[in-house]
Each structure stands twice: as C-alpha cells, then as structure tokens.
Amino acid sequence: MNQDSWRQRVCPVCGGKADFSFLDREAGARWLVCSRCDAEWLFLRLECPFCGNRDQDSLAYLTDGKELYRLYTCERCRTYIKAIDLRRSGEDVLFPLQRILTLDLDRQAHEAGYQPGG
C-alpha cells in the first residue's frame, strides 16, 4: 500500500477514520492518523477528512499561540480534527500521547460547537 497516494477519507489499512493529523517536516503536507491502528496517510490540506468538503469558505483552522497545534474545522459537517505541525515540534512525536496532550484543543472545539470527526 502506497500511503503517499491513497488520499481517501478512510484508513488504507483498516478502513477506520482519522482522529489526528500532522503536517510533515519536509513540505508541511497534511497526513491523517487512523484512530484505530495509527496508520498514517497523505491527505489534502484543504479538504474536510470527514465529509469531503472542499469549499474554502467553510474550512478553517485555528492555531495555538506557538502555532505548534492546529484545529481544522469544517462548517458543513461541524467537525474538527487536530493537527500537530512537525516543522515546529522537536523530537519524535508519539500520537497516542499527543491525543492526550491536546485535550485542551478538544475543549475549545466543543465550546465552539464542533464535534470530533470519525
């Protein structure tokens, strides 16, 4: 399986949905991380990974003060997905740990009326 060219909204390994994402160090491309098996696959930055929306007027993202984390939101399906920008992170990143470290982002998203996708 070539995870660079899959570009679907479901995991290429198990068919699960993403619940986390990251921007890679090389080009800042967005990769999704499977909620079930932690597989990673490349995905468009400007497309909602849950409903496929590509209308730029209804897609947005918020960043924290350090711009390490992002919260991608979709107005159409009212979901969000968290992202970490690896260009700004230090050592290797463990996604199970990141899910916990970013619980504050989940709180912000909920307060703004978004649901976790997937």
Place of tokens 């999704």: 32
17-36 residues in contact with Zn ion (CB under 5 A) are 34, 36
Residue 14 to residue 39: CA distance in whole angstroms: 9
Residue among 13, 42, 62, 86 that touches Zn ion (CB under 5 A): 13
Q: How far is CA 15 from CA 34, 51, 71, in A?
A: 9, 15, 23
Name the one residue in this structure whose structure tokens are 């967005």: 30
Distance between CA 33 and CA 13 in Å, rounded?
11
Q: What is the C-alpha separation between 72 and 63, in angstroms, rounded?
A: 9
Residue span binding Zn ion (CB under 5 A) among the ranges 4-12, 84-92, 95-103, 105-113: 4-12
Count of residues touching Zn ion (by CB under 5 A): 15
Residue 88: CB minimum distance to Zn ion, A: 25
> Considering the complex, what minimum distance in angstroms separates the CB of residue 95 from Zn ion?
12
Taking residue 71's Cβ as centre, other Cβ atoms within 10 Å add up to 20
Out of 9, 45, 76, 99, name the contact with Zn ion by CB under 5 A: 76
Nearer to Zn ion, 17 or 85 (CB): 17
Binding interface with Zn ion (CB under 5 A): 11, 13-14, 16, 34, 36-37, 39, 48, 50-51, 53, 74, 76-77
